[in-house]
């Protein structure tokens, strides 16, 4: 145990041990849960001093007050409007809500269903975990449901898989972990959209998605954290890419009092490419932490990363990105860019772009800029009849448009 302050993870270990017998969801994936329990017992949760929180904020997780909620409750919350055509799964407080979902027809070789149904899948929890491992263990202990998407080789889903995570604990504190598994075989193509609305204050949602991209597959992954509510969001995506696969990600974060998004991605096979995009737009006292960890563990792989932030009011943002190129990963191309626009003097951003390169035949770059709206641009728009507010809005959107 490395924590000096009382270890909040003890509370969580107790909740799990005393509740497991009564919670059918926690009885599934027993090995995964035992492993998580052992991890928490040995290491505890990360605390402020740990690498995981050096620049970010643990928010309500540091307090240990938000306990995992049990089961579905009634809610009138509707969540975001659904797409006209999609395979849609809705989760209320972390539990599948069949009456709101519509998976529809699927091609042969495709499984799109809640994790709570069907047999256990061996792949779940199989990806190597680095950093903030206590957080991952917390999710592993308590998740009840989420998406299970499995595609046999050469399966193409024309419609996107759309996930809605709607949380409503009637103002009470609570922790809502969810778990998704996306496993696609060789030559598959699919788009997955995660839509999160963190819910009211003191509510903490903690989705974790594992993505396994087979040889030559194409996976597009859109993650939206929106809504007006003041809850907290700790989201993580773990990706492993096999040879010649392409993974593209868009993280659009506008909602929540505190939102932390992490991508941990391994380029495991030669010729794989990832394209990571994010836009975080905060105001008031919102706080967004965006973190990426990309490991180039095979030759000839490509990373292109563009993270953009627009912060107004007293909003704070953190971009912490690391691309690590292993010794034998020659012909790597890796470019990481973070750009921030501060709309007020009280908005703050902390940008830490990093490259660690152990191979010699590589093309890599990283860069970070933080600036304010240019007076000349504002003036130019005003001479064309734009009010000051309109001019600012259009310029902020112009800045953001590169990502979306």
Partner 1 sequence: MLRIEDLYAGTQGQDILKGIDLEIKPGEVHAIMGPNGSGKSTLSQVLAGNEAYDVTSGTVTYQGRDLLELGADERALAGIFLAFQYPVEIPGFSNEKFLRTAVNAQRRHRGEPELDAFDFAQLAKDKMALMELDPDLLNRSLNVGFSGGEKKRNECFQMALLEPSLAILDETDSGLDIDALRIVSRGVNALRRPDRSVLLITHYQRLLEYIVPDYVHVLADGRIVRSGGKELAAELEQTGYGWLEDMTAGEVAQ
Binding site for partner 1 (CB under 8 A): 374-377, 379-388, 390-391, 394-395, 397-402
Name residue 191's beta-bridge partners. Answer: 220
- Expressed in angstroms, the distance from the first to the final Cα of the chain is 44
**Which strand ranges, in their side-by-side order, compose the sheet holding 287-296?**
110-114, 147-151, 174-184, 203-213, 232-241, 258-267, 287-296, 316-325, 348-357
Considering beta carbons, is residue 124 or 391 the nearer one to partner 1?
Answer: 391
Q: Tell me the C-alpha distance between 375 and 129, whole Å.
A: 46
Q: Tell me the C-alpha distance between 312 and 354, whole Å.
A: 26
The sign of the torsion formed by the CA atoms of 61, 203, 249, 252 equals negative
Shortest distance, CB of residue 313 to partner 1, whole angstroms?
Answer: 22
**CA–CA distances in Å: residue 16 to residues 27, 47, 298, 299:** 10, 20, 39, 43
- Residue 237 CA, chain-centre distance (Å), reads 5
Longest Cα separation, the chain: 69
Burial class (CB in 10 A: 0-12, 13-18, 19+), 139: buried
Shortest distance, CB of residue 252 to partner 1, whole angstroms?
Answer: 16
Considering beta carbons, is residue 27 or 393 the nearer one to partner 1?
Answer: 393
Considering beta carbons, is residue 85 or 382 the nearer one to partner 1?
Answer: 382
Considering beta carbons, is residue 35 or 394 the nearer one to partner 1?
Answer: 394
Shortest distance, CB of residue 367 to partner 1, whole angstroms?
Answer: 16
Shortest distance, CB of residue 192 to partner 1, whole angstroms?
Answer: 27
Q: Tell me the C-alpha distance between 101 and 82, whole Å.
A: 10
Considering beta carbons, is residue 204 or 395 the nearer one to partner 1?
Answer: 395
Closest CA to 206 of 169, 174, 233, 168: 233
Considering beta carbons, is residue 132 or 391 the nearer one to partner 1?
Answer: 391
Closest CA to 297 of 385, 237, 382, 356: 356
Q: Tell me the C-alpha distance between 42 and 10, whole Å.
A: 11
Contact 321, 55 (CB under 8 A): no
Shortest distance, CB of residue 85 to partner 1, whole angstroms?
Answer: 25
Q: Tell me the C-alpha distance between 338 and 333, whole Å.
A: 17
Shortest distance, CB of residue 337 to partner 1, whole angstroms?
Answer: 14
Shortest distance, CB of residue 370 to partner 1, whole angstroms?
Answer: 17
Name residue 294's beta-bridge partners. Answer: 265, 323
Considering beta carbons, is residue 21 or 384 the nearer one to partner 1?
Answer: 384
3-state secondary structure (DSSP) of residue 21: helix
Shortest distance, CB of residue 184 to partner 1, whole angstroms?
Answer: 33
Q: Tell me the C-alpha distance between 116 and 369, whole Å.
A: 44
Shortest distance, CB of residue 368 to partner 1, whole angstroms?
Answer: 18
Closest CA to 182 of 157, 204, 200: 157
Considering beta carbons, is residue 172 or 382 the nearer one to partner 1?
Answer: 382
Q: Tell me the C-alpha distance between 320 and 189, whole Å.
A: 29
Shortest distance, CB of residue 397 to partner 1, whole angstroms?
Answer: 7
Considering beta carbons, is residue 367 or 388 the nearer one to partner 1?
Answer: 388
Considering beta carbons, is residue 358 or 397 the nearer one to partner 1?
Answer: 397
Q: Tell me the C-alpha distance between 404 and 401, whole Å.
A: 5
Shortest distance, CB of residue 251 to partner 1, whole angstroms?
Answer: 19
Considering beta carbons, is residue 280 or 399 the nearer one to partner 1?
Answer: 399
């Amino acid at each position: 145990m490395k924590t000096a302050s009382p270890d909040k993870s003890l509370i969580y270990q107790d909740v799990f041990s005393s509740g497991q017998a009564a919670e059918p969801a926690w009885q599934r994936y027993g090995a995964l849960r035992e492993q998580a329990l052992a991890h928490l017992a040995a290491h505890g949760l990360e605390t402020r001093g740990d690498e995981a929180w050096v620049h970010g904020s643990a928010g309500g997780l540091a307090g240990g007050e938000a306990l995992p909620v049990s089961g579905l409750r009634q809610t009138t919350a509707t969540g975001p409007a659904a797409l006209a055509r999609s395979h849609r799964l809705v989760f209320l407080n972390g539990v599948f809500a069949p009456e709101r979902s519509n998976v529809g027809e699927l091609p042969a070789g495709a499984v799109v269903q809640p994790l709570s149904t069907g047999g256990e899948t061996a792949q779940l929890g199989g990806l190597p975990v680095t950093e903030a491992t206590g957080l991952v263990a917390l999710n592993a202990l308590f998740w009840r449901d989420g998406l299970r998407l499995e595609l046999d080789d050469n399966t193409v889903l024309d419609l996107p898989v759309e996930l809605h995570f709607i949380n409503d604990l009637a103002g009470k504190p609570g922790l809502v972990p969810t778990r998704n598994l996306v496993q696609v075989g060789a030559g598959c193509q699919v788009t997955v959209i995660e839509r999160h609305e963190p819910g009211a204050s003191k509510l903490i949602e903690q989705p974790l998605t594992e993505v396994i991209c087979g040889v030559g597959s194409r996976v597009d992954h859109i993650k939206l954290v929106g809504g007006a509510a003041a809850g907290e969001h700790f989201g993580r995506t773990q990706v492993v890419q096999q040879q010649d696969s392409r993974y593209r990600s868009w993280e659009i974060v506008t909602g929540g009092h505190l939102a932390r998004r992490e991508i941990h991605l391994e380029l495991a096979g030669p010729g794989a490419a990832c394209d990571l995009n994010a836009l975080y737009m905060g105001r008031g006292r919102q706080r967004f932490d965006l973190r990426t960890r990309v490991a180039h563990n095979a030759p000839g792989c490509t990373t292109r990363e563009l993270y953009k932030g627009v912060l107004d009011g007293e909003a704070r943002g953190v971009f912490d990105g690391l691309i690590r190129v292993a010794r034998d990963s020659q012909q790597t191309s890796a470019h990481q860019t973070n750009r921030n626009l501060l709309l007020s003097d009280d908005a703050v951003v902390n940008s830490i772009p990093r490259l660690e390169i152990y191979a010699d035949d590589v093309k890599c770059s990283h860069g970070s800029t933080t600036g304010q709206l240019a007076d000349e641009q504002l003036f130019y728009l005003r001479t064309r009849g734009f009010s000051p507010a309109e001019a600012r809005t259009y310029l902020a959107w112009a800045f953001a448009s590169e990502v979306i």
